[in-house]
Structure 1
Amino acid sequence: MQIQDFDHRLAGYAYLLEKLEITGIPNWHKSAVATTGIHSVTRQDGFVDEVFRAQYWPGETIGAHLEFALKYDGVNLALLAKIFEKIAMQELVEFIESKPTGKYVRRIWFFYEFLTEKQLPIDDMTTSNYIDALETKDYYTVQKGERSPRHRVVNNLLGPRTFCPVVRKTERLLELDSASLQRRCEEIVTDYPPQLLRHALRSLYNIEARSSFEIENITSNTSRTEKFIASLQLAEKEDFCEKARLIELQNRIVDPRFSDSDYRLSQQYVGQSIAYQKEIIHYICPKPDDLPSLMEGLLASHARMKTGGIPPVIHAAVIAYGFVFLHPFEDGNGRVHRFLIHNILAMQNMVPRGLMFPVSAVMLKNPDAYDRSLEAFSRPLLQVIDYSMDAMGRMTVESESACWYSYMDMTAQAEALSEFILKTIEEELVQELNFLANYDTAKQAIQHIIDMPDRLIDLFIHVCLQNNGHLSEKKRTAHFDFLTDDELTAMQQAVRNSYKQV
């Protein structure tokens, strides 16, 4: 919705960006105040345009619009960092000292010093109750955050200054909370015998490994697939969110010629060639010089959330999507990103022991939804990064850009992962368990007809299912010429009965 200047005045972040001439990633909530008229709200694609009545107008000062922004637009650390770069320190000091006990003013003070690492010439607070940096009713926050006596603010943010995303508590995220997803999974698996679940695990690992490679249109060889499966099997036992472990994992799943011994040293981007020396840029990765700090922050954020009571799905979304957006390696970032989902869900006891969620299979079957989860950050990012390309297709990022990666709003990614996990539990997992249950039924029926090796039973069921419950003459001649007509007829019927095919 376009806010018209003649009857609306921008407020909050929108006012500050325009006044200070800042180009920023749009905040999810945009405010204006009507000169006449009534309150109105427009929602579209996760964005909210809200027009307040005239009496809400905060005035013309930067401090008043910062307070308005925190109160109505929410906490956007990236925009705050850019705004704090532009405002005069003395103006901010005077505003804070004008109402030092106000909770939004204290948060402005805290966020300024947290983001800039500069201390304002203001005396420490000695009275007032402690307040949270983020409202727990509106945001996912760590429990028992550190107290800042200077501001009398509890730092309950998800990460350190170098990597500190936010995730808002939307209606959909509250509906799809980790506990309800876990209960749904437990309800489903109780319908299947333990031996079937043990049988399913190897199959689920295979599905996940194949799907993760296929998402990137990579044909993996058996060795690399097995190495990836071996890593997945370790995911529920070991925390991979350490630099050395991530490098080790990358080395296991990429072509040895593209294995890394450290974070990348070149500028990376994701693009599509449309003609000679012409690229459509889809995503710009952080500058290599910014990577060490960003990755250190990501891993510190993981450690903070691991012990901070963050729901497993939120934790996994922040770290896994944060990793792929930081893109620390030359190759394999997408596969490591999807691996980290499993690692964190398992380490946080989201997945029942002896089971795993083939989330990549759901992402593969829902490519538009997966792309949207990535583009929710990558598309607006393109509007704030200045870059140039040389004749060899090498990119140079010319602007300071670290803050856009340090302070992402990852609500869209958390919602997407919650949806993927729901589909994984209710569709992919159920389909695979039902398939294996039907397989066991068919196998037992075939064994009553003829005693033959498991390898041949597997092959017979497989080729029958490929041909609507019948064995073709070609396949019979090639593999099952020892069967009598009566045995063949009975075995085909056993497969059809087990898989409800006619």
Structure 2
Amino acid sequence: MVRLSPDLIATLASDLAEEARAIVRRTAPDLMARAAAFLLLKDSKASYIIEGERPPQDRIQRWGQALGEAGQTALNEEVLLRLQRLVIGRDTRFLHLGWRTQGGFVGTRDRETNAPLPDHVSAKPNDLAALIQGLLAFAERSEVGGLDPIVSAACLAFGFVFVHPFEDGNGRVHRWLLHHVLARRGFNPVGVNFPVSAVFLERIDAYRATLEHFSRPRLLLTQWETTPELNVHVLNDTRDLFGFFDATNEAEFLSACVLETVRNTLPREVEYLRDYDMAKRRIQAFLEMPEPQFDLMLGFLRQNGGCFSKRAREKEFTALTNEEVSAIEGIYADLLLRHG
């Protein structure tokens, strides 16, 4: 159930999808392709950071590719299981892949006993088959029935993460599902994936509050005990707590994040690339430099507030004259300094 508040109705009525398509139409195709590629990589990295992980670049790129392919095929169990394998990577020695066969929780542990201190207790393993089938049925029916894409995405993705069907990988698959629904329903322009994880990371406290809004009251309704393996074992029937919930809070949070993406994140990245290209043309008018060296130079300037550091002047860019350094710093200040 979703109770659409006046604020949410106003947000959805503003037709954010058309706003995004308008941005794409007025942007050069090569510029938009570069912006989309960067935002996709940014979103992949953010999805791992939210989980407290900083994986190697190849795993970030593989997950970015998976995000880019979201929405291309209908959702089913095999898609979800494949995504978990992709998220976890090659080393699965200490993890059970696939649907959980034991209890699950999100939280901390007692320092002395290592006993679970849950903030969220996941659905019971015996209920997973029915709950997953319910989510898949909702995905199909909401698509056929034309339910608003943002509402549909919120119900499906948050419903999935609340069930927490995997031992690990739930959060990233949950955020992939947001991409899946928005792309599947044609909400985002072709070739552009909204970086919802990046916006979630920027609003991490609000994101956690949205998750806790579901978990806290249900924790009070869940009877559990600690197992000999220091896991949780749920004693009462909790299936309906996960199968039926009011998703208004989740839909409002997601709509605010999509609004931020369409009206700020995407235009900001396009503007940065325009200014970057202009700075590059102005510098190349008096200085020839290989592309990797040019990118390295701008990276140094970005890290040092738009100025060459003493180390950069004495090592990587010792060949630059004082006049060239002054001109480059001036161009950077004119065009790129405001981007941070």
Please report the TM-score for the alignment, with normalisation by the length of structure 2.
Answer: 0.93
Task: Tell me how far apart the structure 2 counterparts of residues 488 and 333 of structure 1 sit (CA, whole Å).
Answer: 49
The answer to whether residue 93 in structure 2 is matched with residue 264 in structure 1 is: no
The equivalent residue for 2:85 is 251
The equivalent residue for 1:371 is 208
The answer to whether residue 141 in structure 2 is matched with residue 307 in structure 1 is: no
* Alpha-carbon contact 1:449-1:490 (below 8 Å) kept: no
What pairs with 1:191-210 in structure 2 (closer than 5 Å)?
191-210=26-45
* Alpha-carbon contact 1:361-1:428 (below 8 Å) kept: no
The equivalent residue for 2:123 is 286
Paired amino acid for 2:200: M
| Number of aligned residues | 335
The equivalent residue for 2:197 is 360
CA 323–440 in structure 1, closer or farther in 2 if over 3 Å, else same:
same
Percent sequence identity over aligned pairs: 33
DSSP-derived class of the 2:189 partner? coil
Task: Tell me how far apart the structure 1 counterparts of residues 49 and 164 of structure 2 sit (CA, whole Å).
Answer: 19
| Structure 1 position 261, deviation (Å) | 4.8
The equivalent residue for 1:405 is 242
Q: Which of residues 30, 55, 60 is equivalent to 1:225?
A: 60
| Structure 1 position 262, deviation (Å) | 2.9
Deviations 1:259-304 (A, max 9, x none): 6553111100011124323543200100000001110111011011
Q: Which of residues 141, 156, 161 is equivalent to 1:319?
A: 156
* Alpha-carbon contact 1:182-1:350 (below 8 Å) kept: yes
The equivalent residue for 2:184 is 347
Task: Tell me how far apart the structure 1 counterparts of residues 97 and 107 of structure 2 sit (CA, whole Å).
Answer: 25
| Structure 1 position 482, deviation (Å) | 2.2
Q: Which of residues 215, 231, 238 is equivalent to 2:50?
A: 215
Task: Tell me how far apart the structure 2 counterparts of residues 494 and 200 of structure 1 sit (CA, whole Å).
Answer: 22
DSSP-derived class of the 1:167 partner? coil
Structure 1: runs of 5+ lacking an equivalent: 1-165
Task: Tell me how far apart the structure 2 counterparts of residues 285 and 235 of structure 1 sit (CA, whole Å).
Answer: 25
More relative contact order in 1 or in 2 (CA 8 Å, sep 6+)?
2
* Alpha-carbon contact 1:449-1:491 (below 8 Å) kept: no
Paired amino acid for 2:250: Q
Paired amino acid for 1:227: R
Paired amino acid for 2:319: F
* Alpha-carbon contact 1:178-1:350 (below 8 Å) kept: no
* Alpha-carbon contact 2:306-2:337 (below 8 Å) kept: no
The answer to whether residue 170 in structure 2 is matched with residue 336 in structure 1 is: no
CA 272–479 in structure 1, closer or farther in 2 if over 3 Å, else same:
same
Q: Which of residues 242, 247, 258 is equivalent to 2:76?
A: 242
Task: Tell me how far apart the structure 2 counterparts of residues 342 and 397 of structure 1 sit (CA, whole Å).
Answer: 32
The equivalent residue for 2:3 is 168
Q: Which has the larger Rg?
A: 1
Q: Which of residues 427, 439, 447 is equivalent to 2:284?
A: 447
| Structure 1 position 324, deviation (Å) | 0.5
Instruction: Give 1 or 2: higher strand fraction.
Output: 1
CA 178–335 in structure 1, closer or farther in 2 if over 3 Å, else same:
farther
Please report the TM-score for the alignment, with normalisation by the length of structure 1.
Answer: 0.64
Task: Tell me how far apart the structure 2 counterparts of residues 394 and 236 of structure 1 sit (CA, whole Å).
Answer: 35
Q: Which of residues 484, 492, 495 is equivalent to 2:321?
A: 484
Task: Tell me how far apart the structure 2 counterparts of residues 344 and 191 of structure 1 sit (CA, whole Å).
Answer: 25
Task: Tell me how far apart the structure 2 counterparts of residues 257 and 202 of structure 1 sit (CA, whole Å).
Answer: 28
Paired amino acid for 1:263: W
